[in-house]
A and B are shown apart, each in its own frame.
Chain A
Amino acid sequence: MRLGLVVDLDVCVGCHACAIACKEWNASGTIGPLTDYQPYGAEPSGVWFNRIRSYEMDEYPNNKTINFPMSCMHCEDAACVTVCPTGASYKRPEDGIVLIDQDKCMGCNYCSWACPYGARELDRSSGTMKKCTLCVDRIYDQELPIEERQPACVLTCPAHARMFGDFDDPDSAVSRTVRERSGYGLMPELNYSPTNQYLPPRSKPVIPIGPKPKGGLKESIKQFANKLVRR
């Protein structure tokens, strides 16, 4: 199994609900807490596993805003695991999830240097590195109804911009969607083979921006008459 996420950049509205749901679930989950520094102060900061940034593609009038959620890509060739000196970082052979053993981490930050996606964040209060677990304490929970055995970010997304599934199964919903929509991984030139895939924004016709003709029957008769006179 190779579990991961698909993010639809065409659909994401940038509401940050996935980041909030992630924080809510994981703050009290196996890897919690996700410490906040000065949450109500002048310089609020803290640990998040999921961050949403917004970009603008192309230039006016062809520009488009793209909201870009990013979490751990659970890379197949995960350099963060390779460089870890303590063995705290590991990739599970059974489902490809990259995790950090909080009891072994010494907080050297080296794994965060190796990660190009900024997926790993140090928790200053525990002194350990933390990252997206793909809600490993949720997706296998037999107590939950089967449709809820998904990462918190996927369940909460109001726009259905996120999907969760097994990329090793060519007939899974994620594999089919990535095939049909030409999904891609980020920064492929570094050869980390990220598991998470992004669906590109669809090409849409440019919306004309000149003054619109006023509608209505009277107006069209006028225009028709004008055309006749001009001829």
Chain B
Amino acid sequence: MHPAFSVIFFTVASGAGFGLFSLLFIADVFKLGGGFSREQLVIGGLIALGLIVFGLLSSTFHLANPKNAWRAFNRFRTSWLSREGVFAVIFMPLALIYLVSIWFDAPTWLRDTSGFLAAILAWITVFSTGMIYACLKTIRQWNSPLVPANYLALGYASGSLLLLLGAVVSGLETLPYIAMSALIMAIAAVLKAIYYFWIGSPGLSPTINTATGLTRAKVKLLDTGHTHGTFLTEEFGFQIARQKAGLLKVVVFVLGFALPGLMLVWVFNQHGGEMAAIVAVVAGLVGASVERWLFFAEARHVVNLYHGAQRC
């Protein structure tokens, strides 16, 4: 699949935003590390909302006809893309109610209820983002429950690193934030490793024989029928060399998980403090972006069978 940068930025930014918001709510409820102040909570919440809004806006850049984007809320009952949009839009007012009730010291029940519902919707929205890809039977590398699991785990991992930075900057006790981040990052790394292992073997997948129905003998492509590229070759023809993909997987694990993990240790040992937390956030987000690019680059659509691939 052709990796579109607007979609990569969208999924990484909004995933981190939704993750940060949910974890901020948890930090607020349990007063982790002494608890953020009113201003700090609102600033953190606005940063999360900013990431989400920028992400959603950038996702409209890959539309060829953005003037019809408002219609995307129409097919909630069948389309995961539509569901994602609807859930993100329901999330917004709840998140704002939560932040407003923090700012104006509203009754606890309102603050906790709106925060809880917003956190649940954040989870559902990121799940829907993953399901946009996971529901496609045409792409073996995506049609897996590990995809929404990866989207959720990575979103929360990036969010937890941002929250840790917030805790360091705010001078809170960092231990609970380090523990939370370490746990989520470990889960995300393990899920990603299982995913890479899983897509490594083809399993039961369509072949050029089932695609053409000529199952009694070897089939090979003689002519694609077009002289230059087509929409199909532009959109689905992208292929990444196995070696390059392997190298990028190392980058994902080093930048996305190992380096932030090391920085967690530094923050724990009081080395560097803020600087270490910033490095953790940047490395985590860059790692997540490389992971997302690879997620698209490694996906092989079955239409490639008609263009000569023996199996997808």
Q: Residues of A contacting B81 with CB < 8 Å?
A: 83, 85, 108, 110
Nearest A residue (CB) for B204: A189
B68 contacts chain A at the CB level, 8 A cutoff:
yes
Complex contact A58–B71 (CB within 8 A): no
Q: Residues of B contacting A79 with CB < 8 Å?
A: 136-138
Q: How large is the interface on B (under 10, 10 to 19, 20 to 34, 35 or more residues)?
A: 35 or more
Report the Cα distance A121→B217, complex, angstroms.
Answer: 31
Task: Tell me the A84-112 residues at the B interface (CB within 8 Å).
Answer: 84-88, 103-110, 112
B231 contacts chain A at the CB level, 8 A cutoff:
yes
Q: Residues of A contacting B136 with CB < 8 Å?
A: 79, 83, 113-114
A114 to chain B, nearest CB (A): 6
Complex contact A84–B79 (CB within 8 A): yes
Stretch from A123-131, A138-146, A221-229 at the B interface = A123-131
Q: Residues of A contacting B219 with CB < 8 Å?
A: 55-57
B64 contacts chain A at the CB level, 8 A cutoff:
yes
Q: Residues of B contacting A103 with CB < 8 Å?
A: 68
Nearest B residue (CB) for A191: B137
Complex contact A86–B78 (CB within 8 A): no
Residue from B79, B213, B236, B302 in contact with A200 in the complex, judged by beta carbons closer than 8 Å: B213
Complex contact A83–B79 (CB within 8 A): yes
From A59, A106, A107, name the one whose CB has the most chain B CB atoms within 10 angstroms.
A106
A45-B229, A118-B303 known; A190 vs B137 contact (CB < 8 Å): yes
Complex contact A45–B224 (CB within 8 A): no
Q: Residues of A contacting B135 with CB < 8 Å?
A: 83
Residue from B80, B213, B225 in contact with A16 in the complex, judged by beta carbons closer than 8 Å: B225
B192 contacts chain A at the CB level, 8 A cutoff:
no
Chain A residues near B (Cβ < 8 Å): 16, 19, 38, 43-45, 47-48, 51-59, 62, 65-66, 68, 70, 79, 81-88, 103-110, 112-118, 121-122, 124, 126-128, 184-191, 198, 200-201
If A104-B71, A108-B64, A108-B72 are given as contacts, then 9 extra A-B residue pairs at C-beta distance below 8 Å, sorted by A number, are A16-B225, A47-B231, A48-B230, A83-B81, A84-B78, A127-B63, A127-B64, A188-B210, A190-B138
User: Which 3 residue pairs spanning A and B have beta carbons closest together?
Assistant: A107-B64, A127-B65, A127-B64
